[in-house]
Amino acid sequence: MNTNAVMQLALYLAVLLVLAWPLSGYITRVMRGEHLGPTRLLAPVERLFYKLAGVDAGRETGWKSYAVGLVLFNLTGVVAVYALQRLQGVLPLNPQGFGTISPDSSFNTAISFVANTNWQGYAGESTMSYLTQMLGLSVQNFLSAATGIAVVIALIRGFARKSLETIGNVWADLTRVTLYVLVPLSLVVAVLLVGQGVIQNFRPYTEVQTVQATVYQTARLDAHGAPVNGADGKPLMVDTAATTQTLPMGPVASQEAIKMLGTNGGGFFNANSAHPYENPTPLSNFIEMLAIFLIPAALCFVFGRMVGDKRQGWAVLAAMTVLFVAAYGVTVWAELAGNPALQHAGAASSLNMEGKETRFGIVASSLFATITTAASCGAVNAMHDSFTPLGGMVPMALMQLGEVVFGGVGSGLYGMLVYAILAVFIAGLMVGRTPEYLGKKIESFEMKMTAIAILATPILVLAGTAIAVSVSAGQAGVLNPQAHGFSEILYAFSSAANNNGSAFAGLSANTPFYNVMLGLAMWFGRFAIIVPVLAMAGSLAGKQRLAVTAGTLPTHGPLFVVLLIGAVLLVGALNFIPGLALGPIVEHLQMIG
Amino acid sequence: MNLSSQLRPALTIFVLLTALTGVLYPAAVTGIAQGVFPNQANGSVISKDGRAVGSGLIGQNFTEPRYFWGRPSATGPMPYNGAGSGGSNLGPTNPALFDAVKTRVAALKAADPGNTAPVPVDLVTASGSGLDPDISPEAAAYQIGRIAKARNLSIPQVEALVAANTTGKQWGFLGEARVNVLKLNLALDALGK
Amino acid sequence: MTKRFETPIPDHVETGTDERSGNDKRKLPLLDPALLTPAVTDAFKKLAPQVQWRNPVMFVVYVGSILTTVLFGQALFGTGEAPAGFIGAIAAWLWFTVLFANFAEALAEGRSKAQAAALRATKKNVIAKKLKAPKKGAYELIDSPSLRKGDFILIEAGDTIPMDGEVLDGVASVDESAITGESAPVIRESGGDFSAVTGGTRVLSDWIVVRVSVNPGEAFLDRMIAMVEGAKRQKTPNEIALTILLVALTIVFLVVTVTLLPFSQYSVSVAGAGTPITITALIALLVCLIPTTIGALLSSIGVAGMSRMMQANVIATSGRAVEAAGDVDVLLLDKTGTITLGNRQASAFIAAPGVTEQQLADAAQLASLADETPEGRSIVVLAKQRFALRGRELAAHQAVFVPFTAQTRMSGVDYDGRQIRKGALDAVRQHVADVGGLFPDAVSKAADDVARRGATPLVVVDGTTVLGVIELKDIVKGGIKERFAELRAMGIKTVMITGDNPLTAAAIAAEAGVDDFLAQARPEDKLKLIRDHQAEGRLVAMTGDGTNDAPALAQADVAVAMNTGTQAAKEAGNMVDLDSNPTKLIEIVEIGKQMLMTRGSLTTFSVANDIAKYFAIIPAAFATTYPQLGTLNVMGLHTPASAILSAVIFNAIIIVFLIPLALKGVKYRAQSAAQLLRNNMLIYGLGGLIVPFVGIKLIDLLLVALHLA
Checking if the pLDDT of A141 tops 90, the result is yes
- Amino acid present at C544: G
Residue numbers of B between 139 and 168 with CB closer than 8 Å to A: none
Say if CB A150 and CB A442 are below 8 A apart.
Answer: no
Strand pairing category for C516-518 and B45-48: unpaired
Q: Give C84's contacts (C-beta < 8 A, 6+ positions apart).
A: C72, C75, C76
- Amino acid present at B83: A
pLDDT band with cut points at 50, 70 and 90 for residue C499: confident
Checking if the pLDDT of C183 tops 70, the result is no
Q: Which residues pair with C471 in a beta bridge?
A: C348, C457
Query: B182 and chain A: CB distance < 8 Å anywhere?
Result: yes
Contacts with A346 from chain B: Cβ below 8 Å:
101-102, 105-106, 119, 124
Contacts with A559 from chain C: Cβ below 8 Å:
674, 677-678
Residue by residue, DSSP assigns A532-557 as: HHHHHHHHHHTSPPPPP-TTSPPSSS
Checking if the pLDDT of C404 tops 80, the result is no
What b-and-e string marks burial along C24-36, b requiring 16 or more CB atoms within 10 Å of the CB? eebbbeeeeeebe
Cβ contact B37–A194 (<8 Å): yes
CA dist C498 and A425 (Å) reads 38
Strand pairing category for C540-544 and C139-143: unpaired
Max distance between CA atoms of chain B, in angstroms, equals: 82
- 3-state SS class at A93: coil
Query: B4 and chain A: CB distance < 8 Å anywhere?
Result: no
Query: A590 and chain C: CB distance < 8 Å anywhere?
Result: yes
Q: Give B178's contacts (C-beta < 8 A, 6+ positions apart).
A: A358, A359, B134, B135, B136, B137, B166, B167
> Which residue among C42, C159, C222, C334 is the active-site one?
C334
The stretch C389-393 carries a mean pLDDT of: 67
Residue by residue, DSSP assigns B22-53 as: IIIHHHHHHHHHHHH-HHHHTT-EEEETTEEE
User: According to the model, what pLDDT value does residue C479 have?
Assistant: 79
Q: Determine the residue among B8, B104, B125 to mutate to test chain A binding: the one whose Cβ has the most chain A Cβ atoms within 10 Å.
A: B125
Cβ contact B93–A484 (<8 Å): yes
Query: B35 and chain A: CB distance < 8 Å anywhere?
Result: no
The stretch C7-36 carries a mean pLDDT of: 45
Min Cα separation A382/chain C (Å):
27
Is the CA virtual torsion A473, A477, A483, A489 positive or negative?
A: negative
Query: B71 and chain A: CB distance < 8 Å anywhere?
Result: yes
Q: Which residues pair with A214 in a beta bridge?
A: A242
Residue by residue, DSSP assigns B45-70 as: EEEETTEEEEETTS-----STTS---
The stretch C466-487 carries a mean pLDDT of: 84
How many angstroms separate the Cα of A212 from the Cα of each of A184, A245, B60?
Answer: 44, 10, 8
CA dist C110 and C45 (Å) reads 14
Query: Any known ligand binding at C140?
Result: no
Checking if the pLDDT of C408 tops 80, the result is no
- Contacting partners of chain A (3+ CB pairs under 8 A): B, C
The stretch C290-307 carries a mean pLDDT of: 88
pLDDT band with cut points at 50, 70 and 90 for residue B13: very high
Residue A51: phi and psi, rounded to 5, are -65, -45
What separation, in Å, do the N-terminal and C-terminal C-alpha atoms of chain C show?
Answer: 51
Strand residues in C288-339 grouped as ranges (E): 314-316, 330-334
- Amino acid present at C647: A
C449 is annotated as an active-site residue:
no
Checking if the pLDDT of C227 tops 70, the result is no
Look at residues C393, C383, C378 and name the one whose alpha carbon lies nearest to residue C356: C383
Cβ contact B80–A276 (<8 Å): no
pLDDT band with cut points at 50, 70 and 90 for residue C503: confident
Cβ contact C597–A427 (<8 Å): no
- 3-state SS class at C125: coil
**For the segment A44-77, what is each residue's pLDDT rounded down to a tens digit?**
999 999 999 999 999 999 999 999 999 999 999 9
Contacts with A466 from chain C: Cβ below 8 Å:
258-259, 261-263
User: According to the model, what pLDDT value does residue A538 have?
Assistant: 96
User: Considering only alpha carbons, which residue of chain B is nearest residue A125?
Assistant: B83
Cβ contact B16–A179 (<8 Å): no
Min Cα separation B146/chain A (Å):
17
> Which helix (H) or strand (E) is C420 found in, with range?
strand C418-423
Look at residues A282, A224, A220, A277 and name the one whose alpha carbon lies nearest to residue A246: A277
Residue numbers of C between 181 and 240 with CB closer than 8 Å to A: 237-238, 240
Checking if the pLDDT of C78 tops 90, the result is no
Checking if the pLDDT of C427 tops 70, the result is yes
Mean pLDDT of chain C: 84
User: According to the model, what pLDDT value does residue A318 have?
Assistant: 97
CA dist A78 and B127 (Å) reads 34
Q: Give A6's contacts (C-beta < 8 A, 6+ positions apart).
A: none
The stretch C581-597 carries a mean pLDDT of: 84
Residue C171: phi and psi, rounded to 5, are -135, 140
Say if CB C135 and CB C63 are below 8 A apart.
Answer: no
Label each residue of B135-168 as H, E or C: ECHHHHHHHHHHHHHHHCCCHHHHHHHHHHCEEC
Query: Any known ligand binding at C426?
Result: no
The stretch A223-248 carries a mean pLDDT of: 85
pLDDT band with cut points at 50, 70 and 90 for residue C29: low
- Contacting partners of chain B (3+ CB pairs under 8 A): A
User: According to the model, what pLDDT value does residue A375 have?
Assistant: 95
User: Considering only alpha carbons, which residue of chain A is nearest residue B10?
Assistant: A73
User: According to the model, what pLDDT value does residue C123 have?
Assistant: 67
CA dist C142 and C162 (Å) reads 10
Say if CB B69 and CB B63 are below 8 A apart.
Answer: yes
Cβ contact A209–B51 (<8 Å): yes
User: Considering only alpha carbons, which residue of chain A is nearest residue B188?
Assistant: A211
Look at residues C628, B163, C248 and name the one whose alpha carbon lies nearest to residue A451: C248
Contacts with B62 from chain A: Cβ below 8 Å:
211-212
Q: pLDDT above 70 covers what percent of chain C?
A: 90
**For the segment A451-500, what is each residue's pLDDT rounded down to a tens digit?**
999 999 999 999 999 999 999 999 999 999 999 999 999 999 999 999 99
Q: What is the tally of helices (H) and strands (E) in chain B? A: 7, 5
Cβ contact C600–A454 (<8 Å): no
Contacts with A570 from chain C: Cβ below 8 Å:
607-608, 611
Contacts with A493 from chain C: Cβ below 8 Å:
none
What is the ipTM metric for this complex?
A: 0.96
User: According to the model, what pLDDT value does residue C6 have?
Assistant: 33
In a 13 Å sphere around the CA of B147, the CA atoms on its Cβ side amount to 28
Cβ contact A574–C238 (<8 Å): no
Residue B68: phi and psi, rounded to 5, are -65, 135
Rounded (10°) angle between helices A63-86 and A512-541: 160
Contacts with A136 from chain B: Cβ below 8 Å:
22
Contacts with A587 from chain B: Cβ below 8 Å:
91-93
Which own/partner pairs from C553-560 qualify as long-range (CB within 8 Å, at least 24 positions apart)? C555/C527, C555/C530, C555/C531, C556/C332, C556/C530, C557/C324, C557/C327, C557/C328, C558/C321, C558/C324, C558/C325, C558/C328, C558/C585, C558/C588, C558/C589, C558/C592, C560/C314, C560/C584, C560/C585, C560/C588
Smallest Cβ–Cβ distance between C271 and the set A467, A482, A545 belongs to A482
Residue A120: phi and psi, rounded to 5, are -125, 110
Min Cα separation A159/chain B (Å):
22
Min Cα separation A433/chain B (Å):
36
Say if CB C535 and CB C516 are below 8 A apart.
Answer: no
DSSP single-letter state for residue A200: B
DSSP single-letter state for residue A133: I
Residue by residue, DSSP assigns A297-354 as: HHHHHHHHHHTT-HHHHHHHHHHHHHHHHHHHHHHHHHHHH--HHHHHTTBS-----T
Q: Give the global pTM.
A: 0.89
Checking if the pLDDT of C16 tops 60, the result is no
Which own/partner pairs from C629-638 qualify as long-range (CB within 8 Å, at least 24 positions apart)? C629/A581, C629/A585, C629/A586, C629/A589, C631/A589, C632/A581, C632/A585, C634/C693, C635/C693, C635/C696, C635/C697, C635/C700, C636/C697, C637/C696, C637/C697, C637/C700, C638/C700, C638/C703, C638/C704, C638/C709
Say if CB A107 and CB A523 are below 8 A apart.
Answer: no
Checking if the pLDDT of B192 tops 80, the result is no
> Which helix (H) or strand (E) is C130 found in, with range?
strand C127-131
User: According to the model, what pLDDT value does residue C395 have?
Assistant: 60
User: Considering only alpha carbons, which residue of chain A is nearest residue B169?
Assistant: A282
